């Protein structure tokens, strides 16, 4: 079981949720600069990441490899119009989805978690990529998911001028 990664995810989400709710709907929807995402759009991207990675985490437990399609992140954010959604609804969806992902991570079978996979697509779709010449594990992908989530939370809380 992957209790450490699940707990790390839970702590990051719990810590951030209260802080996220301090932002007003107006502030969360404000675009900081042309071509940049608003806080709502960054959190929307994290919801999209949760959806995609949840499916990957489940499929990988019964698959011999870690081959996954990527997704067009900017297009997903654009199409879903996250800036039009109430901020508190986005925060709650993100919190609940990650609570479930932490549950899945925590209960992943150890053999599926640590089995090296020679075939994977982590060289193109992971936050911290793995060369296709190196084996990768589901555990690595789960840790990478939490790293990615924490990276974007830092963007929300300490935006660049």
Q: Give the pLDDT confidence of 29-86 residue by residue, as tens digits.
A: 999 999 999 999 999 999 999 999 999 999 999 999 999 999 999 999 999 999 999 9
3-state secondary structure of 62: coil
Domain harbouring 111, CATH code: 1.20.120.450
- Is the confidence at residue 161, as pLDDT, over 80? no
- What confidence tier does 1 reach under pLDDT thresholds 50, 70, 90? low
Taking alpha carbons only, the member of 144, 141, 57, 137 closest to residue 97 is 57
**Domain membership of residue 134 as a residue range:** 3-157
Is there a contact between 18 and 12 (Cβ–Cβ < 8 Å)? no
Structure tokens at 33: 């600069």
Contacts of 148 (CB under 8 A, 6+ apart): 49, 127
Distance CA 149, CA 152 (A): 5
This prediction has a pTM of: 0.96
The per-residue b/e assignment along 86-106, b for 16 or more CB within 10 angstroms, e otherwise, is ebeebbebbeebbeebbebbb
Structure tokens at 17: 């949720």
The domain total for the chain is: 1
């Amino acid at each position: 079981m992957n209790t450490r990664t699940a707990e790390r995810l839970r702590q990051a989400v719990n810590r951030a949720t209260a802080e996220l709710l301090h932002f007003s709907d107006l502030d969360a929807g404000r675009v900081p600069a042309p071509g940049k995402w608003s806080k709502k759009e960054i959190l929307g991207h994290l919801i999209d990441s949760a959806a995609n990675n949840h499916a990957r985490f489940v499929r990988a437990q019964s698959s011999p490899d870690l081959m996954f399609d990527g997704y067009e992140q900017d297009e997903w954010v654009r199409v879903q119009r996250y800036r039009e959604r109430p901020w508190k609804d986005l925060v709650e969806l993100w919190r609940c989805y990650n609570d479930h992902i932490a549950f899945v991570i925590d209960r992943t079978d150890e053999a599926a978690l640590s089995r090296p996979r020679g075939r994977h697509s982590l060289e193109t779709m992971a936050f911290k990529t793995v060369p296709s010449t190196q084996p990768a594990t589901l555990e690595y992908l789960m840790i990478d998911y939490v790293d990615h989530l924490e990276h974007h939370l830092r963007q929300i809380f300490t935006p660049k001028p």
